[in-house]
Chain A
Amino acid sequence: MSRALVPLVSLFFALLAAVSPWFVIKRAFGGKGVLLAPFGLVNPGGTRVPEFDLAWVPLAFWVWVALAALASLAYLFLKGRARVQALYVLGGLGLLFFALEAFLFYRQVAEINAAALEAGARRPPLKRYSLSLGLYLQFFYALFLLVLARMHTPGGAGLLVRYRGVVVPAVSLLLAMVAGGVLVWLLRPIPGLREPLSTYGYLVAKLDLVTYTFQLLFGPVLTLPGLFQSALIATPLIFTGLSVAFGFKAGLFNIGAPGQLIMGAVFAMFAGLYLPGPKLLVLPAAIAAAALGGAFWGAIPGWLKARFGAHEVINTIMMNYVALSVMLLLLSKNEWSFFGHVVHFPFKAPGYEPKSLEISEAARIPLFLNLLGFKGAGPGELSLALPLALLLLLLGYYLFFRKLELGPRVLASLAAAVAGYLVGGLLPGIPAQVGADLASVRLNGAFLIALFSVAFYNFYMWRTKHGFELRAVGLAPKAAEYAGVKITQKLVLTMAIAGALAGLAATHYVLGGGIDEYRFKQSIPYNVGFDGIAVALMGQNTPIGVTLAAGLFGVLLTGGLQLNLQLGISRELVLVLEALIVLFIAAGGFLPRYFTDPLLAAEFLKRLAPEREKEVA
């Protein structure tokens, strides 16, 4: 690492912190804020705020400058253990100081609000106050110092390379956010600007605009309804992300998830409309139908590739358009003329909106809140059945039955889960209150199916012979073929399973009522199939990674609604961020190549190895 890096980062940090808003004292609807920066209060909208004594903020700024200078000097002039210790101490101090500042700010706000309420104000004068960019910078600068210290302890130099599975997506996310921030800076005016600002005020206000954009995007993690809504949006992303990841593992690029999702929805609709019988049979059959529809649509390009060598990328894209046509045929009208003969279809519901008839009660997936034992908004009881079942499932798999073979192990764990469900259902529930905003979120049981799909992906890919063969085909097709893998069969099977995973996303929309009604609607957001590409890449094709990446995008897409409401920025900004993340991950985050190439990474770590051996000796 270049020696100039730390002083440069420190300088950049200090300069940016100087022109960043540190605290937002009050924010009105539309993003108009009263901003506190180290060199003055910036109030673009002329909002009235009570007297606010934050004279310590400029002082705090100089403390940070001193800290950054000390860190640079320590890095440049100290050696060995002293340098590491200095960096650890400075980083730790930074974190403490950050916490202190946040505490001081929140206490001051609370005091002012309390005083105003006591004086007879009807509402607290300071609303929607928050920390802002300056404080975030401090937090990450302190973290940077700590990571740097760790990297200079023995055996730490390869730290980033060893965790490259996290580093590359994180760097790509950061770069995409910077690019998105530039876009917002260029396209949006300062909210609520009344009178011209000084240059300093302008910089602070623009940086606040960018910060506020991302605060809104990440905002849903702070509330329970926000988290539920994010999980709702993440559910189909988990399915499509797994679908794309499944293809990637075998060296196939499945851009056909949108079409597979639509065909899953078509099959699920057939099952939901026409299957008779009790819920216990119809619901699993309908879920299986969704998977089957997707598998059918995915297997076709797989077969075309295996049989004719036609590239799956173009074919899966073409299959998306064909699936769209199938959807239009089924949903947009009920009367079609084939060569002059009028044929009647029984699917479309009467009315203007293109959507199918409602599926039967038996084929509907219950809402998540109902699964937890609640009946809707208002007081209810949290049933222990589902939590206990999941707990026993995990405990069974990872603790009780570890000695068994995979098959019996899974079966035994499932049996434990069923037992847990029954026992939990008999236990008295925990009384709890469900708010109306929480009850209106249509998160449903498809979320659980998604989690089971993650588990399936994990087991299939890393615990079975088929998965092993599949990964071998992805890494070295010729070697795999030589070792006896039937490549053509493998291609069709892989695309079928990838398609099935994407098709299962339809369970969320059609069977689970993810878009408000238990129908197949033409407004089904099939583009989540493309989002799956970003999810798979961001998650580096690992089960945990895909789940987390889907969660991240679920949060961003949920926050995107607020973005439109508050700042008039199109929700498509999230799509742009997604595309940029894909682009940057494809470019390896613009990091050195030993971050992306496993062979070079191994070589890099090997070169560092002697150092570690010395440490052991």
Chain B
Amino acid sequence: MDILSTAFLVALVAGALRQTTPLLFTALGGMFNERSGVVNIALEGIINFGALAAAVTVQLLEAPYLAQDPNVRIWWIPWVGVLAAIVAGVITAWIHAVVSIRYRADQIVSGTAINMLSFGLPSIVLLFLYHNTTASKEVVHRILPISSYLPFLQDFFATPLGRILDQSPLVYLAFVLVPVTYFALFKTPWGLRLRSVGEHPEAADSLGINVFLMRYQGVLLSGVLAGIAGAYLSIDQINQFIRMMAAGRGFIALAALIFGKWHPFGILGATLLFGFAEAFRIQIEGAGVLPSPILQAFPYVLTMLVLAGFIGRARPPAAIGKPYEK
């Protein structure tokens, strides 16, 4: 295999963008809650629930249409799926928020509970809907890459650059969110307030900022973004929900968040690193260079190396993980 061939590079870059997207969504979401002073280890569970909601919603919505005409394609169905994923993500994040902000629970234990819930509950729902415990039915209405919306650019999408850029709209959304979240967090009064309750809640409170409200907003926003990441996995990357589909992405996103120093552009760099590592692994998996289990462990080992090597220099929000008491 020629590492420098155009085909290899195109596949590598395009794959890297696809692998980066769910991590980027999740890490940007995690940035909001960590900046507001709440640890959200439940990101993994939020992705799982988002993926489940998206796949199930799309499948239930499309079933009656497909029963009439198996070839019908309706453009809005996958987007309702994304919406369902957002709703599921927000509900899950809300549980975490209530338990950890209102009831001052240990935030890591609460997040772990939600992750455990996201391993068990989908099985019950899947058994109820599809009579098996591990996967949903395959959906027909996936989110398609942009070439299918722009048929007149067929020739461009056949070129190497075109093949790299021919991604799902969600991929574009993830990358657009980087400057948007930067602006929201560092250039608006709302962002200043959010950061202040994560750094020094007492001081923020004395200035009349509602600490609880800001923290709720931070956690719920993470639910929105991690939920979209879930939808991306189940109705974009592939076409069904599989149990424990997040496969550690929530935790890797947390590591990327720390590696990216709680900053949107840092997070972009960190998630791109993980995305490229994963895409590279997928590309060389078939070549017999190393046994596939060793390659599969690669992103996880990389996460640990990143955490060990760089955390010393990064400074987390000062009040992170501490419940606020008025």
Asked if A pairs with B, the answer is yes
* Chain A residues in the interface with B (C-beta under 8 A): 183, 187-188, 253, 255, 304, 307-311, 313-315, 317-319, 321-322, 325-326, 328-329, 332-333, 336-340, 527, 530, 533-534, 537, 568-570, 572-576, 578-580, 582-583, 585-588, 590, 593
* Chain B residues in the interface with A (C-beta under 8 A): 41, 95, 99-100, 103-106, 108-110, 112-114, 116-117, 119-121, 123-125, 127-128, 133, 248, 251, 254-255, 288-294, 296-297, 300-301, 303-304, 307-309, 311-312
Across the interface, name the chain A residue whose C-beta is closest to B120. Answer: A575
Q: How far is the CA of A314 from the CA of B252 in the complex (A)?
A: 8
Q: How far is the CA of A578 from the CA of B254 in the complex (A)?
A: 25
Tell me which of B128, B288, B311 contacts A187 (CB under 8 A).
B128
Tell me which of B119, B125, B248, B307 contacts A304 (CB under 8 A).
B307
Question: Nearest chain A CB to B36's CB is how many angstroms away?
Answer: 19
Contact A326 B121 (CB under 8 A): no
Q: How far is the CA of A121 from the CA of B292 in the complex (A)?
A: 64
Contacts of A332 in B (CB 8 A): 293
Mostly, the A contact residues are helix
Question: Nearest chain A CB to B313's CB is how many angstroms away?
Answer: 11
Contact B303 A318 (CB under 8 A): yes
Contacts of A338 in B (CB 8 A): 290-291
Contacts of A570 in B (CB 8 A): 123-124, 127, 133
Given A310-B304, A310-B311: A586 in contact with B120 (beta carbons within 8 A): no
Contacts of A537 in B (CB 8 A): 109
Q: List 15 A-B contacts (CB under 8 A).
A: A304-B304, A309-B311, A315-B307, A318-B251, A318-B304, A325-B293, A329-B293, A339-B289, A533-B109, A533-B112, A575-B116, A580-B113, A583-B110, A587-B103, A593-B104
Contacts of A310 in B (CB 8 A): 304, 307-308, 311
Contacts of A572 in B (CB 8 A): 120-121, 123-124, 127, 133
Contact B112 A308 (CB under 8 A): no
Contact A576 B120 (CB under 8 A): yes
Contact A576 B304 (CB under 8 A): no
Contacts of A590 in B (CB 8 A): 103
Contact B289 A314 (CB under 8 A): no
Contact B294 A329 (CB under 8 A): yes
Q: How far is the CA of A590 from the CA of B95 in the complex (A)?
A: 13
Contact A586 B99 (CB under 8 A): yes
Contact A321 B248 (CB under 8 A): yes
Contacts of A187 in B (CB 8 A): 124-125, 128
Contact B110 A586 (CB under 8 A): yes
Contact A579 B116 (CB under 8 A): yes
Contact B114 A325 (CB under 8 A): no
Contacts of A527 in B (CB 8 A): 119
Given A309-B311, A318-B303, A586-B99: A578 in contact with B294 (beta carbons within 8 A): no
Contact A315 B110 (CB under 8 A): no
Contact A586 B113 (CB under 8 A): yes
Contact B303 A314 (CB under 8 A): yes
Q: How far is the CA of A336 from the CA of B294 in the complex (A)?
A: 11
Contact A587 B108 (CB under 8 A): no
Contacts of B104 in A (CB 8 A): 593
Contacts of A585 in B (CB 8 A): 109
Contacts of A339 in B (CB 8 A): 289-290
Contact A321 B254 (CB under 8 A): no
Contact B296 A313 (CB under 8 A): no
Across the interface, name the chain A residue whose C-beta is closest to B302. Answer: A318
Question: Nearest chain B CB to A497's CB is how many angstroms away?
Answer: 21
Contact B108 A253 (CB under 8 A): yes
Q: Closest 3 CB pairs between A and B?
A: A575-B120, A579-B116, A583-B113
Given A322-B297, A322-B301, A580-B113: A586 in contact with B311 (beta carbons within 8 A): no
| Residue among A187, A322, A586 with max Cβ neighbours from chain B (10 Å) | A586
Given A253-B109, A569-B124, A572-B133: A340 in contact with B288 (beta carbons within 8 A): yes
Contact A579 B106 (CB under 8 A): no
Across the interface, name the chain A residue whose C-beta is closest to B125. Answer: A187
Contact A582 B109 (CB under 8 A): yes
Contacts of A593 in B (CB 8 A): 104
Given pairs A309-B311, A582-B112, A586-B100, 18 additional interface contacts (CB within 8 A): A187-B128, A308-B308, A308-B309, A308-B312, A309-B312, A310-B304, A310-B311, A311-B311, A325-B293, A328-B293, A337-B288, A338-B290, A533-B109, A568-B127, A570-B124, A576-B117, A580-B113, A586-B99
